[in-house]
């Protein structure tokens, strides 16, 4: 990221923080709401896995690590870019995107980081606690290399998560209504948050490993952490991220060419 973008990012964060502090309820509510949702999610997982000993080769410890990893990916998404990226269809429909296109900074960059949500930070903390609990239940020795490579895969999968979100919202540059695509995304995330990629076979594996690659997002970092990742798996993960980076770039770029701007 260029120096200029860092400075713009700092200003966007400052503006967002000032904006959130104007309304005290809006500032504090996400801490409570997100925290409650996280606890509800934990209860649901607890209910599901209290009677299940193993999924594939994974036992209870691996599953805790998996759920913590997916929660962390989701928490970073919620904190950093979710609210910015999900505002894209509205900006397109209302013509607000006009003002982003006329400024000398990438419109996607500005949209991505314009609505950072500090209220979701506790989700990151809770997810890290869950991951720590998972590694403790596996009696794992956390070496620096293992931790660094886990973080590397987390970062890669966070990029993939972001790209999926952008691709789906970019559809609004081509079609007027796209609500069903967002539902598809929600269903995919919901399923893959509960079920690791190693449990998917056949057509489900094609769907969630390639077409909507939510199935690999938490699976690959966990596989790396527990030492189950093969070279083929690693190359596949990097390939998918590279492929979706190209797709995201093209879909967004061509989408802007299609943009007709709402009539004022």
* List of residues contacting another protein (CB under 8 A): 4, 7-8, 10-12, 14-15, 18-19, 22-23, 95-96, 98-99, 101-105, 110, 256-257, 259-261, 263-264
**Least Å distance between CB 18 and another protein?**
6
Query: How far, in Å, CA of 186 to CA of 209, rounded?
Result: 16
**Least Å distance between CB 10 and another protein?**
8
Nearer to another protein, 12 or 198 (CB): 12
Nearer to another protein, 21 or 54 (CB): 21
DSSP code, position 198: G
Nearer to another protein, 183 or 261 (CB): 261
**Least Å distance between CB 76 and another protein?**
24
Query: How far, in Å, CA of 213 to CA of 160, rounded?
Result: 8
Kindly report the three-state secondary structure assignment for every residue of 104-170.
Answer: CCCHHHHHHHCCCCHHHHHHHHHHHHHHHHHHHHCCCCCCHHHHHHHHHHHHHHHHHHHHHHHHHHH
**Least Å distance between CB 94 and another protein?**
9
Q: How far apart are the first and last CA of the chain?
A: 35
Nearer to another protein, 143 or 263 (CB): 263
Nearer to another protein, 106 or 147 (CB): 106
Nearest to 161 by CA among 96, 88, 219, 234: 219
**Least Å distance between CB 171 and another protein?**
17
C-beta neighbour count of 211 within 10 angstroms: 10
């Amino acid at each position: 990221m260029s120096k200029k973008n860092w400075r713009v990012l700092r200003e966007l964060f400052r503006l967002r923080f000032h904006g959130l502090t104007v309304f005290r309820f809006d500032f504090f509510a996400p801490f409570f709401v997100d925290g409650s949702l996280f606890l509800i999610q934990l209860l649901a997982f607890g209910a599901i896995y209290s009677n299940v000993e193993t999924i594939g080769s994974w036992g209870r410890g691996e599953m805790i690590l998996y759920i913590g990893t997916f929660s962390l990916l989701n928490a970073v998404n919620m904190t950093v870019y979710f609210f910015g990226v999900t505002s894209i269809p509205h900006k397109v429909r209302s013509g607000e995107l006009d003002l982003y296109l006329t400024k000398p900074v990438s419109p996607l960059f500005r949209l991505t980081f314009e609505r950072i949500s500090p209220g979701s930070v506790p989700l990151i903390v809770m997810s890290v606690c869950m991951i720590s609990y998972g590694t403790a239940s596996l009696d794992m020795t956390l070496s620096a290399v293992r931790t660094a490579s886990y973080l590397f895969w987390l970062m890669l999968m966070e990029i993939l998560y972001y790209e999926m979100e952008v691709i789906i919202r970019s559809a609004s540059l081509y079609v007027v209504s796209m609500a069903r695509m967002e539902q598809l995304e929600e269903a995919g995330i919901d399923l893959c948050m509960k079920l690791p990629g190693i449990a998917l076979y056949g057509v489900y594996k094609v769907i969630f490993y390639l077409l909507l690659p939510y199935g690999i997002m938490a699976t690959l970092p966990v596989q790396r952490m527990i030492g189950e990742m093969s070279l083929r798996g690693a190359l596949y993960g990097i390939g998918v991220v590279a492929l979706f980076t190209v797709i995201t770039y093209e879909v967004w770029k061509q989408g802007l060419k299609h943009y007709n701007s709402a009539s004022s």
